[in-house]
Amino acid sequence: MAKTTYATRARTPAPVPASRWRAFTPVAFVLGFAAAFLISTATSGPDATEQRIAELRQEEVDRDIAQLGPLTDLAKGGRDRLAPVLAAMAEVIPAGSATPARQPTADQVKGWREVVSAEVERYAQAPSAGNGINVARTGLRTAVEQLAASVDGFEAALNSAEPQRNTLVALAGQQRTLGVRTWSVAAIQLDVININAGKGHVHVQLPAGPESGAAPADGG
């Protein structure tokens, strides 16, 4: 009897459905992205981030140092320019007094306005800086703006009759005192910044007695 031989036919693997490839592709992408992120973090992660933070901080320090000198000079000049104005205002109404010693003259008020308005203009520009410089500059600017408002009060008193005139002069004196107090706080801030920058004490306080309530300069 003859032996029957069966030929073995090789089986061809069934093709992978396209839908499976579409499902696999996003997964592969996510895994690849995660691997790249881990490699990047391992080579340049925390150290690079901390280095960049340090660079940004140093840039801010350098910027503040560059602005500290001009701002200090501006405050010193402002103190010298405003001192005669404040002395004349004190003769009209002393700090802490509710009653004018005398009335200002029109020429006096005109002179005060010229000086104070020019000082306000000097603070019109506010270049970007760190918090310390910004606080000092804003305080000084606010102080001269308050002094300008005080001049407005004295000017209004010139065209008023009694008893309103005395009231306006008293209010102008109070506004003057608030300006001096505000300047004193900004002056302390500027002093601290100069000390921290290794430049030593810088005293730019406006002349004011204890009755004004102004913060005194630190010793040094």
Is position 83 within any domain? Answer: yes
Domain membership flag for residue 33? no
- Average pLDDT rounded to a whole number, residues 161-168: 94
Task: Confirm whether 80 is domain-assigned.
Answer: yes
DSSP code of 105? P
Tell me, what's the pLDDT at 158? 95
Residue 33 in this model has a pLDDT that exceeds 80: no
Q: Which range marks the domain in which residue 103 is found?
A: 68-212
Residue 182 lies inside a defined structural domain of this protein: yes
Angstrom distance (rounded) from CA 57 to CA 190 = 20
**Between 58 and 141, the higher pLDDT residue:** 141
Report the distance separating Cα 172 and Cα 174, nearest Å.
5
The answer to whether residues 172 and 202 touch, using CB atoms and an 8 Å cutoff, is no
Cα 114 to chain centroid, rounded = 27
Q: Indicate if the alpha-carbon torsion angle 23, 24, 28, 29 is positive or negative.
A: negative
Quote the number of domains for the chain: 1
Model pTM greater than 0.85? no
d(Cα 215, Cα 208) in Å, to the nearest integer? 9
- Residue 182: CB atoms within 10 Å: 23
Domain membership flag for residue 93: yes
Place 24 in a pLDDT band, splitting at 50, 70 and 90: very low
